[in-house]
A and B are shown apart, each in its own frame.
Chain A
Amino acid sequence: MAVSESQVDELVPRQELKTLSPGKTKRTTFGIGLIKGLGITLRHMLTPAVTVQYPDESAPLPPRSRGIIALKEENCTVCMLCARECPDWCIYIEGHKEARESVGGKRAKKFNVLDRFAIDYALCMYCGICVEVCPYDALFWGQLDNYSEHDVTQLTHEMEQLNQWMYQVPPPEELEIGAMGPAVKPAAGPPAAGVEKEGA
């Protein structure tokens, strides 16, 4: 049921459907293609290589690169949100409630205290949902491009290691021109202004 050129236009009136066809590629005499190919490889041989020599030099990682997940322990309130949202169930959190005197000293307030925070990287699928949902900015993506362990059981990392990885976390980057953050709910204020083109 090959569709002819005239039919094609009728099929999609919404927008003109322009099709290209290989019949329009030009025919060449035998051997031209072979010689052209040789020319391309020769040209590349005489131009510098594009690769980097990996262990000595490595390509820079972008700030968002998902290497390892770092934990800022003091920010964690043991709300369990990350563990609940994790699709792989790879975050283990343990904690207990502790009564502490608040600064005013009026009455003891209960605080959640973090006892254990571990991520099983053998299960983790690096989706970053935990980082995304954390309401108190306790989880961050850190940069590491060659993370590995010799044994699968060693892939579960406890708090100490996750804290250490905070040093790998890059500073937050600027957004592209025209970015305005999430749309504001109408109830919260006037509708987001300036949807006009700013150009890039």
Chain B
Amino acid sequence: MSTLIPTTDRWLREARLAGDATLRTEEMVLNIGPQHPATHGVLRVVVTLDGEKIVEGTPVVGYMHRGHEKLFEQRDFRQITNLCSRMDWLSGLNNEIPASIAVERLMELEVPRRATYLRVIMAEINRILNHLMFTGSFGLELGATTPVMYAFRERELLQSAMELATGGRLHFGFIRPGGLKEDVPRGFVDLALRGIRQLQKAIPDYEDLLMGNEIFKARTVGVGVLDPDLALEYGVSGPILRGSGIPYDVRKAEPYLNYDEFDFNIPVGTNGDSFDRYWVLIQEMKESAKIVEQALLDLPAGSHIGQVPKRLTIPKGAIWAKAENPLGELGYYIVSDGEAKPYRMKARTPSFNNISVVPHMLRGAYVPDMVAILGSMFFVVGDIDR
């Protein structure tokens, strides 16, 4: 019997060594993207396949390069704020915050407490919006079409709260150096609270629908394991880094705004696999909801913008300022030569580093795993390419 069924790998290897023509297989080069549902955006992954197993997978970026850094050099900071929100279009407000923090530090501007609170509220709502999007689309990539619809339902209320305040649904352009563009209108607090409560009620559904599901577990547990050391070396950040077990969150490590006044936890995964990353996302939504709730109930009265000169000229110098974007650490390195426009403004976007580690994770995975890996690496193509 043992000669009848040898272990397959030995058997195939022998056949290959013997040069058996009937068993000759070729490696296949396949382009996944730029027009592919799993890359949700114009990301291209060139994979070399042996059957369905990925031998080598390389992301090809640049299909969406819009030259943000060059454009920054031609604009003043009010204009830059509006440009920033277009990098990671799922978390526009979070993109704007570090840019204006950098200016505030350089100019030693004081931000009123009310503005800081509102910034935190809206940044966290934006984080929830972003996370909802990814929790939904991750299910979609694994073939479950329903979670994304529920996610959009929950997004709607929070989205309208943001729209009520800023007038925009994606590109908010609401942060200004020194505070906010304007104060929020009557009804914002109620609407945001309602949205948060609805989300808190709905989260158990997400947990049951996907995280408790045996098929989902089979598809994600142990798939796309990201080693914590590798993650650090690649500058991976955000939910992905925390999924790998490293509790690095700029909100705690280097508190900006007034995050140190709120009570929230940092969810940290243990295995660094797709499941843990998804788990971190869901938990972060809960924590963000907690922050928003605290901030809303505690919102102080005051002005929405500090004393800001009519014409912003940034004193000479350079600064590196960072913040915790929903997708990870977003920072700007700003060099100023004393004018209104920055001399050089480098945007360090989270998705760029996050996606550069992907080749390591794709090696040896199956094609369907690739979808789970890309889906759980949470990237926005505009954030990679800028």
Segment with Cβ contacts to B, from A7-15, A94-102, A114-122, A155-163: A7-15
Interface string of A72-84 (1 = CB under 8 A from B): 0000000000000
B108: min CB distance to chain A, Å: 15
The answer to whether A33 and B208 touch (CB under 8 A), given A22-B279, A41-B146, is yes
- Is there contact, CB below 8 Å, between B303 and A40? no
**Interface stretch of the complex, out of B51-59, B212-220, B356-364:** B212-220
Q: How far is the CB of B76 from chain A (nearest CB, A)?
A: 8
| Segment at the interface with B among A105-113, A146-154, A179-187 | A179-187
Q: Is A46 an interface residue (CB 8 A)?
A: no
Bound form: Cα–Cα A37–B280 in Å: 20
Q: Chain A residues near B300 (CB, 8 Å)?
A: 178, 195-198
**Given known A-B contacts A20-B265, A179-B304, A33 and B214 have beta carbons under 8 A apart:** yes
Identity of the chain A residue whose Cβ is nearest the Cβ of B267 in the assembled complex: A20
Q: A33: shortest Cβ distance to chain B, in Å?
A: 4
Q: Which residues of the partner chain A approach B303 to less than 8 Å between Cβ atoms?
A: 180-184, 192
Closest to A187 in B: B307
Contact with B along A171-182 (1 / 0, CB 8 A): 001111111111
User: Does A103 interact with chain B (Cβ within 8 Å)?
Assistant: no
Contact of A64 among B166, B260, B302 (CB under 8 A): B166
| Interface stretch of the complex, out of B11-19, B39-47, B167-175 | B167-175
Residues A19 and B268 in contact in the complex (CB < 8 Å), given A125-B171, A176-B187: yes
Q: Could you tell me the distance in whole angstroms from the C-beta of A85 to the nearest C-beta in chain B?
A: 7
Q: Which residues of A contact B185 (CB under 8 A)?
A: 62-64, 173-176
Q: Are B302 and A192 in contact (CB under 8 A)?
A: yes
Nearest-Cβ distance from residue B165 to partner chain A, whole angstroms: 7
State whether the Cβ of B234 lies closer than 8 Å to any Cβ in chain A. no
User: For chain A, which range describes its interface: under 10, 10 to 19, 20 to 34, or 35 or more residues?
Assistant: 35 or more
A residues within 8 A CB of B160?
A: 59, 62
With a CB–CB cut-off of 8 A, which chain A residues contact B346? none
Q: Does B112 contact A (CB under 8 A)?
A: yes
Select A200's contact among B229, B232, B247, B299, beta carbons within 8 Å. Answer: B299
State the CA gap A178–B189 with chains docked (Å). 11
Q: Select the stretch in B22-30, B269-277, B329-337, B375-383 that faces chain A.
A: B269-277
- The 8 A CB mask of B251-266 against A (1 = contact, 0 = none) is 0110100001000011
Q: Determine the main DSSP class of A at the interface with B.
A: loop
Q: Which of B78, B150, B183, B279 contacts A129 (CB 8 A)?
A: B78
The 0/1 profile, CB within 8 Å of A marked 1, for residues 191-214 of chain B is 000000000000001001101111
**What is the bound-complex CA distance between A50 and B185, given in angstroms?**
25
Are B228 and A1 neighbours in the complex by a CB distance under 8 Å?
Answer: yes
Is the CB of B305 closer than 8 A to any CB of chain A?
yes
For residue B79, CB closer than 8 A to chain A, the reply is yes
Q: How far is the CA of A60 from the CA of B280 in the complex (A)?
A: 34
Q: Which residues of B contact A65 (CB under 8 A)?
A: 163, 167
Q: Are B307 and A183 in contact (CB under 8 A)?
A: yes
Query: B246 at interface (Cβ–Cβ under 8 A)?
Result: yes
Note all chain A residues with C-beta closer than 8 A to B179: 182-183
Give the distance in Å from the alpha carbon of A146 to the alpha carbon of B245 in the complex: 46
- Using CB atoms, name the residue of chain A closest to B249: A17
A178 pairs with B247, CB closer than 8 A: no
Whether B171 contacts A127 by the Cβ 8 Å rule is yes
Q: A33-B217, A180-B114, A186-B307 given; name 20 further pairs at CB < 8 Å.
A: A11-B247, A15-B255, A18-B265, A34-B214, A59-B160, A64-B163, A87-B75, A125-B86, A126-B168, A126-B171, A127-B82, A129-B78, A129-B82, A175-B184, A176-B183, A177-B186, A180-B301, A183-B307, A184-B303, A195-B114
For the complex of A and B, the 5 pairs showing the least CB-CB separation, nearest first, are A178-B301, A64-B167, A179-B183, A127-B82, A33-B212
> Which residues of chain B have a CB within 8 Å of any CB of chain A?
75, 78-79, 82-83, 86, 112-114, 146, 150, 153, 156, 160, 163-168, 171, 173, 179, 181, 183-189, 205, 208-209, 211-217, 228-229, 232, 244-247, 252-253, 255, 260, 265-271, 275-276, 279-280, 283, 296-307
A-B contact list, 13 entries, CB within 8 Å:
A17-B247, A62-B160, A85-B79, A128-B167, A129-B78, A141-B167, A176-B189, A181-B303, A183-B112, A195-B113, A196-B300, A198-B300, A199-B297
